Amino acid sequence: MSEPSGRAVCVGEALIELKRGSDGRFALSCGGDTFNTAVYLARAGIDAAFATAIGDDPYSESMLALAAAEGIATNLVLRVPGRLPALCLVEGAPSGERSVRYWREGAPVHELFELPDWMRLAEGLVSAKLIYFSGITLSLLSTNGIARFLAVLEVARGQGAKVAFDGNFRPRGWKGDLPRTRTVFIEALKRVDIALPTFDDEAVLWGDPSPEATVARLQAFGIGEIVVKNGPNSALVARVGAQDFVPVPEVLVPVDTTAAGDGFNAGYLAARLSGSEPMQAAAAAHRLAGHVIRHPGALVPRVGAAMH
Query: Does the active-site annotation cover 208?
Result: no
Strands across the sheet containing 26-31: 26-31, 15-20, 87-92, 98-103
Q: Is the dihedral of CA 88, 67, 269, 253 positive or negative?
A: negative
Distance between CA atoms of residues 183 and 294, nearest Å: 37
What is the distance, to the nearest Å, from the Cα of residue 160 to the centroid of all Cα atoms in its chain?
21
> CA 16 → CA 48, 97, 244, 308, distances in Å?
21, 19, 39, 11
Distance between CA atoms of residues 133 and 194, nearest Å: 11
- H/E run at residue 212: helix 211-219
* CB neighbour list of residue 45: distance below 8 Å, 6 or more residues apart: 270, 274
Q: 231: helix, coil or strand? A: coil
Distance between CA atoms of residues 293 and 308, nearest Å: 20
Provide the annotated active-site residues: 262
